[in-house]
């Protein structure tokens, strides 16, 4: 085998290995959910069995997936976790969740957000006035 052909084959193999490693790294990155932190007033559970977090600014959303949430109802908390695609991921009642599609019409077509809690940090025994506005769902 001549040396030029050997170098060409070797170079091609190196390129293929490098591209494979890049594709694998991108695949691994996309399957990992990143952690987020949210702070607000915790209430619930609601009729779907999920807890509701009302941040000081913005719209309330459903949280779940952690048994310790029940001991923080009425408190200001800082929650760490991931955004979930459905209420089932946070332990929401399956039959009640089926009604969620009908309820989205009540919310002008805006789907409810779901947050799966992995850690709870207690901030205050009470909620600020700003955090309690709009708590009714």
Same domain assignment for residues 1 and 19: yes
Range of the domain at 1: 1-32
For the chain, the domain total comes to 2
Same domain assignment for residues 58 and 45: yes
DSSP 8-state code for residue 74:
T
pLDDT at 134 over 70: no
Does a structural domain hold residue 54? yes
The pLDDT of residue 103: 53
Cut 0.95: pTM above it: no
d(C-alpha 69, C-alpha 31), whole Å: 27
| Residue 79 belongs to domain with CATH number | 2.40.50
The pLDDT of residue 108: 43
The structure tokens listed for 64 are 């779940």
The pLDDT of residue 99: 58
Does a structural domain hold residue 117? yes
Percent of the chain with pLDDT over 70: 57
101 vs 82, residue with greater confidence: 82
Same domain assignment for residues 51 and 9: no
Q: Are 61 and 112 in contact (CB under 8 A)?
A: yes
Same domain assignment for residues 50 and 94: yes
pLDDT in tens, 17-64: 444 444 434 434 445 679 999 999 999 999 889 999 999 888 999 999
**What does the CA dihedral 83, 89, 93, 98 come to, rounded to 10 degrees?**
80
Q: Are 104 and 111 in contact (CB under 8 A)?
A: yes
Give 83's pLDDT tier (boundaries 50, 70, 90).
very high
Does a structural domain hold residue 5? yes
Does a structural domain hold residue 57? yes
The structure tokens listed for 137 are 């769902």
């Amino acid at each position: 085998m001549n040396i030029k052909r050997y170098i060409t084959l070797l170079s091609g193999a190196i390129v293929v290995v490098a591209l494979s490693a890049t594709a694998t790294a991108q695949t691994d990155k996309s399957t990992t959910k990143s952690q987020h932190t949210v702070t607000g007033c915790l209430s619930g559970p609601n009729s779907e069995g999920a807890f509701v977090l009302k941040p000081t600014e913005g719209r309330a959303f459903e949280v779940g997936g952690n048994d310790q949430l029940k001991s923080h109802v009425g408190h200001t908390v800082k929650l760490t976790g991931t955004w979930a695609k459905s209420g089932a991921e946070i332990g929401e009642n399956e039959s009640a969740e089926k009604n969620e599609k009908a309820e989205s019409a009540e919310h002008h077509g805006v789907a409810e957000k779901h947050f799966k809690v992995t850690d709870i940090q207690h901030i205050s025994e009470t909620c600020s006035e700003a955090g309690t506005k709009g708590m009714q769902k």
